[in-house]
Chain A
Amino acid sequence: MPEGKYCNKTPINTPEEVNSLLSDTSGNQYYTEMQSLEVDSDLLWATIQKTLKSRLRTWLEICAHCGMCADSCFLYLVNDRDPKQVPAYKIQSTLGEIIKRKGRVDNAFMRHAMEVAWAQCTCCNRCGTYCPHGIDTGIMFGYLRGLLYQQGFVPWEMKIGAGMHRAYRAQMDVTDEDFVETFEWMVEENEEEYIGLTVPVDVENADIMYTVNAREVKHYPEDLAEAAILFHAAGENWTVPSEGWEQTSLAMFAGDWAACKMQVESVYAAMEKLKPKRMIGTECGHAHRATVIEGPYWAGRENGLPPVESIHYVEWLAEALRQGKLQIDPSKRIKEPVTIQDSCNYVRNQGLKNATREIMRHIVEPGYFVEMSPNKEHNFCCGGGGGFNGIGLFRKQRNKGLEKKRDQILATGAKLVLAPCHNCWDAIRDLEEEFKIGIRWSFLKPIIIKMLVVPDHMKPEE
């Protein structure tokens, strides 16, 4: 059976196809079918010849096999320094081997490559900063994921995630109507407590266009209300688009580059339609990476920039606190040891290390903020990045991967971990569930709201 009913080389594009794949519980049949999925070696080799340019070729060629990348990889460290977890080994034995064999690899090899690409690398790019030659293995794994996706060797949840973006332009089955209705409903829920709270939909020429993560709409709608409260308190002229509101991209984790392009173009279309001064995304790392850092390239924008200036939520928060648009009640600041998780996707990959620290200065009583070690651009991945959190097949490997973050957090002595990134937030929640180290974790929005000086015009009349 070369192509299965569920596991095949064809992307899923419609809600019906998404539902059909979802109906295969845990992907049981999907993974059974994968065992006999045929490798299209000609397509594989032709794709490589077209897309493997001098950067990747040179990386594979000049790797000195020095092993200096080993210690940089949290998965190597937590897996008892297993040599098979050395980044250079992981990529040479998968992508390197496919190239050496000119694409003539078999089904078992591809399934092994899938495990390495999704369960042994989170594309955190840390190794790239520890290689003397500047070889970024995380980037090569992103490339390998693309090849594997094209051949149908992709974890079940990743195929569904990419399909969601194709079918809904969102990572979950949330329609444009669901988004607007949920946002309006959450605002209504809070308008008695915060007078004048609204959600301005499709307003042209606003100062801010806000974009979110679909799971906020589906599972954490209070996050939408919190965003509205903070924008309102800061007196911002903001709006949300009724189409192109989803900033995330599971397609990026899946290696489905065509879906990445479709997704990010929907957000850019909203920018072009509403002409906001700036776009601000929610507290998510990969969403920012997808829409702001990588997205312009998928969309073919030669200047590498989105149509309008786009910043991360932490940049806006830092700015609003600095300019006094948001006022903190000093008596309500955090008075316990607290640490912050630097997200790979916007700290290592866009240098936003100072914004979160500026926020900490405003919201934490001096002396209580404890840095993780290592931190900033040298921080370790939360343990669940790059799609790792969401893949049932690799749950055991993911839980093992959480140990590094657990130990980093324990070393700080903090019981409260701030994680302005959905992936990190999930991983830290899961590590508490797994290891019970007695910590609490939070996004920034709810913490800020608790200590906010609510402007008079928002206060309900007694």
Chain B
Amino acid sequence: MHEFLTGIFFWFAITVCLVGMLVRFVQYFRGLSWQLDRVAYKAHPKAGMKGAFRSIYKWLIPYGTYGWRTQPFMAAAFFGFHIGAVFVPLFLSAHNIFLENMVGFSLFTLPAGIADFLTWLTLVCAFFLILRRIVLPEVRILTTLYDYFILFIALAPFVTGLTARYHVGDYSFWLNLHIFCGELLLIAIPFTKMSHVFLFFASRAQLGMDFGIKRGGMKGTRMAW
């Protein structure tokens, strides 16, 4: 089982994820319509790029926008969750040893203590994000079972990974389950709401181009996000 998960199934999952993301990313931009969207993307590429870049980076900074500042607790839970969810999978040392074995290169790695902290941070913040969905009426009305399913596939690799890391129960069982959950997540990225991991950049870029070209950018006003 372990060989299957770290061999052929790994290659399958990573291929589906990367090719899927690429295809959908290209499809997104090809599907933009200057006339229906009412944004002259091609006529003003420079103004568009400026707006797109600004729209993305402002929102990536914790408390960098009015939106984040008006909801400080949400912003804390959001960034806590996402910093762990992005950094741990990419920069955990065990992941990079595996990567080195598979493809012959690895990325920067996090010290174990920090990786542990970020993993727990992700889980704690996820708890608050779920609590928010249950407690706040304005979030509850929007929440569907599908949202919990997405949270489940996002969190499963963290829970199983921590269980294996602390050697609770049968280590090899939890390790295999962890790898399997991680690979399921990779496969889910292009086909589910998980697509936001890359479509976030596409969507933010689009609205940024809108503001950069049409809604003030070419008048010399940068949107005060």
Residues of B within 8 A of A131 (CB): 67
| Contact across chains for A134 and B206 when beta carbons are under 8 A apart | yes
| Contact across chains for B37 and A53 when beta carbons are under 8 A apart | yes
Q: Is A293 an interface residue (CB 8 A)?
A: yes
| Contact across chains for A134 and B55 when beta carbons are under 8 A apart | yes
Q: Is B95 an interface residue (CB 8 A)?
A: no
CA distance A136 to B215 in the complex (A): 13
From A88, A303, A378, B40 is in contact (CB under 8 Å) with A303
CA distance A85 to B225 in the complex (A): 23
CA distance A296 to B204 in the complex (A): 24
CA distance A63 to B199 in the complex (A): 11
Chain A 43-64, CB-CB to B under 8 Å as 1, else 0, gives: 0000000010111011101111
Residues of B within 8 A of A2 (CB): none
Q: Is A302 an interface residue (CB 8 A)?
A: yes
Chain A 30-74, CB-CB to B under 8 Å as 1, else 0, gives: 000000000000000000000101110111011111111011100
Residues of A within 8 A of B12 (CB): none
Residues of B within 8 A of A102 (CB): none
Chain A 123-142, CB-CB to B under 8 Å as 1, else 0, gives: 00000111111111000000
Residues of B within 8 A of A55 (CB): 31-33, 37, 203, 206
Residues of A within 8 A of B143 (CB): 65
| Contact across chains for A62 and B195 when beta carbons are under 8 A apart | yes
Q: Which residue of A lies closest to B225 (CB)?
A: A129
Q: Chain B's interface: helix, strand, loop or mixed, by majority?
A: helix
CA distance A88 to B136 in the complex (A): 15
If A68-B74, A133-B196 touch, whether A297 touches B144 (CB-CB below 8 Å) is no
Q: Which residue of B lies closest to A70 (CB)?
A: B138
| Contact across chains for A88 and B44 when beta carbons are under 8 A apart | no
From A64, A71, A84, B71 is in contact (CB under 8 Å) with A71
Within 8 A of A (CB), among B126-157: 132-133, 136-144, 147
CA distance A294 to B213 in the complex (A): 12
From A66, A133, A353, B204 is in contact (CB under 8 Å) with A133
Chain B 199-225, CB-CB to A under 8 Å as 1, else 0, gives: 110111011101001111101111111
If A304-B39, A304-B40, A351-B219 touch, whether A68 touches B71 (CB-CB below 8 Å) is yes
From A61, A64, A305, A348, B215 is in contact (CB under 8 Å) with A348
Query: Contact residues of A with B, CB < 8 Å?
Result: 51, 53-55, 57-59, 61-68, 70-72, 76, 81, 83-84, 86, 88-89, 92, 128-136, 293-294, 296-297, 300, 302-305, 348-354, 376-378
Given contacts A62-B195, A351-B221, 8 further A-B contacts (CB under 8 A): A53-B33, A58-B199, A72-B70, A132-B200, A293-B215, A303-B40, A351-B215, A352-B221
